[in-house]
Chain A
């Protein structure tokens, strides 16, 4: 399974989101089964085509548009609890 964390530039918010998503996956014992990568909005459309789940903000979800992956909107990128709540049902 592949998760792509998307932000505008691929160096800031998506990296934080990737780190926190990996933290959630470790807690669930799923970190061996799921790859998480960070991507900027330019490469995200391509990356989202091969991903199962896209994590991003409400603003950027509109930019990504229609992709086969499940797009999950995260409001607070630093809140591991919110990420866990939204991600757990999708990876278990």
Chain B
């Protein structure tokens, strides 16, 4: 499985505006809603998670993994991809500012492990991330995330 199997262009936004971290998480949540992964309530839950536990979701330089716990607001496991026009601050000591918000919803604790494994591979590839940061369309993001692209992202 690769991330391109999990994402459709409707769940991807590039060069998106965001006034602050809440706005960025709200926009990433709206993408989940658009493809039927979760309802608006889940977006509120993702924001509440950061308010309660802090910006730990900024798990790598420039990258936030917005998520909350499995809840009735989650319809199926899935992710969205929000690349920001201008990075925003989440208040993380080391990894701010954030240019990519990946929103994640899961139905339980292990039904999405294949998805997480694909995501780990992408987020661990700093060259690929640098190319993804410049992507100018959802189609281009999907192309970069698809397996046929491997080795050709120069």
Chain B interface: which size bin? Answer: 20 to 34
Q: B55: which A residues are within 8 A, CB to CB?
A: 59
Q: How far is the CA of A14 from the CA of B92 in the complex (A)?
A: 17
Stretch at the interface among A25-33, A46-54, A73-81, A84-92: A73-81
Q: How far is the CA of A60 from the CA of B124 in the complex (A)?
A: 22
Q: How far is the CA of A58 from the CA of B106 in the complex (A)?
A: 24
Which of A8, A41, A63 has the most chain B CB atoms closer than 10 A to its own CB? A8
Against B, the Cβ 8 Å flags (1 = close, 0 = not) of A55-70 are 0111110010000000
Which of B52, B53, B55, B93 has the most chain A CB atoms closer than 10 A to its own CB? B53
**B67 touching A78, Cβ below 8 Å:** no
B119 at the interface (CB under 8 A from A): yes
Could you tell me which B residues sit within 8 Å of A by CB distance?
49, 52-57, 59-61, 63, 65, 67-70, 92-95, 104, 106, 109, 112-113, 116-117, 119-120, 123-124
Having A13-B57, A13-B67, one finds 13 other A-B pairs with CB under 8 Å, namely A8-B56, A11-B109, A13-B56, A15-B116, A16-B120, A16-B123, A20-B120, A58-B93, A59-B54, A59-B55, A75-B94, A78-B60, A78-B123
